[in-house]
Structures are given as structure tokens and as C-alpha cells.
Structure 1
Amino acid sequence: MARFLARRVDDPHQVADLVADVLLAVMESAHTYRPERGSEVAWLYGVARNTLSAERRRALRESQLTDRVSRRRPLDSDDISRVEKVTVTEAAAALGIRSGTAMVRLHRARLAGAAACSWGWR
């Protein structure tokens, strides 16, 4: 299985991570193996293929997100001052959403921020 993954991935560290992911997936889904549908080896390679596909989709999403973020300029102190003065209603209008939706999102963001602070994340 490691050679199967190594032929498809250049980074040996990523191969090791994928082998671990495959073994974990095999342990979690062993009850789904059906001998009448094929050999254990074929099933194992199917799990490896699915794990690799999931990793490639995740890497693509991460790359797309990184690309989107890198095209934006960082906020400077003037931007932050202007944002702090915006009301929830104005923010909702700028985002094209209802003000009630904006209030709910703001509430959830504050809860997430408070939870992050309680865990020591900053």
C-alpha cells in the first residue's frame, strides 16, 4: 500500500501520513468489507484510493482558499477604525443579507471568539 501511494505522491512525509490515514480508515470501516465483492487486498487498495482522493480534494480546497486570501490586502488601522464604526444594519446591507441574519452571525462569531480565548487561542 505504501508503494501504491508513493507512486502517486512525491513527498515521503505525505506518503507516511496517507498510510496512517488509510490504516485508520481500514480499522474504522473493516465491518464494511464484503468478501463476495472482492479480495481483501482489492478492498484495501480501494480504501487507499479513496483516502488519496479525499486528501487531494482537501489540498485543492486549501489551495483555493489560500489563493483567495492572498489576493486581499491586509487591513490597516484606518480600515479597522471604519469597521468599528459600522452598525450591524450597515454591515448587513454591505453584505447583502438581512440585519437579523447579520446579528445572528455576529453573535456566533463572538461566541466562537470567547471560546477561542478560553482555550488560549489568539
Structure 2
Amino acid sequence: MDDPRLARFEAVYRETYGQITAYAVRRCDSPQDAADIVAETFTVAWRRIGELPPGEEAVLWLYGVARNVLANHRRGEVRRQARSVELDAEMADLYGAAPDSGVALTAIAEVFRSLPDDDRELLSLVAWEGLDRHQIATALGVSRNAVRIRLHRARRRFSRALAEAGVRPTPESRLVPAGRSL
């Protein structure tokens, strides 16, 4: 007996797994956390298969689900960190800057992490996921105009924070969205 819901889920899973996994990996501190985010995202997709939009809209819907799952995960992390401050300090020492990372990259990463969650998310959707404003609006459930304004403000805050940290942009350091060329 063929279940059309199962067939649809399997097709969407095959088509979007790589994108959703990349989304999670770039936002999580560990591969295990990313795997948990992906698993929960597709669990939600299965439970809500009737709400899953058709075509390209499915991946945008899944980005929105993954964003919510990630937010829940981060809230849980905050609670866990509050209970284990000493362990967190040890982990920070163990997983500090990679030995081959340059000073500028370290400074950029620190500035990026210091941005508000919403700014980081918008900038990441553009730079890492390669989404345009319309796609971001769909994934976040806001208007394209809201995305345009928020993205402009996020870029401005990031630029200001980089300047305050002493990081000066060069033509070679220009951030380009995934899959796009200079």
C-alpha cells in the first residue's frame, strides 16, 4: 500500500536534506548539535506534512522550522550553561581559536558572534544559504520590505562593529553569498 504522505516526505527529504544540514552545521557549535537540529526539523516536517508547501517553498518552510528548532535548542543551551558555568569555561579553553586561524578571521568571528541573533540570522541566510530577500521573507514569515530594512540595518551594525574592532575591509575580504561569485 503506497502512502502519498510518505512518498512526499521522502522526496522533500532527499531534495532538502543537504541544504538543511548545511544550515544547521553553520549555526551549531558541534556536529552532534547540528544532527539533532536536522533530525528535529524533519520530525516536525513529518508531523506537519499537510502544511508543507509544494516546490521550492518547501525548503524555505524547512528553513523556518530549522530556525525555530535552533532557537529552542539555544534556549535549552542557555539553561544548561547557567547550571554548568565551570564546565563551560573548560570547554571554551579546549575549543578556542583554531591554530591556523588568522587574527582578522578571529576578530570577524568574534564581532559576528556579538551581533544580535536576528542580525546574525539575516546575514547568514544571505551569505551562507545564498537566499534572496523574497526567499528570506518566506522563510522568516515577514514581508520583503521588512527583510530589506532589517538586512540593511544588520549590515550597517556589522560594519560598525567591525570598524570598532579595528577590522578594515579589503576587496579580497568581501563576503559573498554561497554559490555566487564576486
Give the shorter-chain TM-score range: 0.3 to 0.5
| Structure with greater Cα Rg | 1
Q: Could you say which structure has the greater relative contact order, defined with CA pairs below 8 angstroms and 6 or more residues apart? A: 2
Task: Output the TM-score relative to the length of structure 1.
Answer: 0.47
Task: Output the TM-score relative to the length of structure 2.
Answer: 0.32
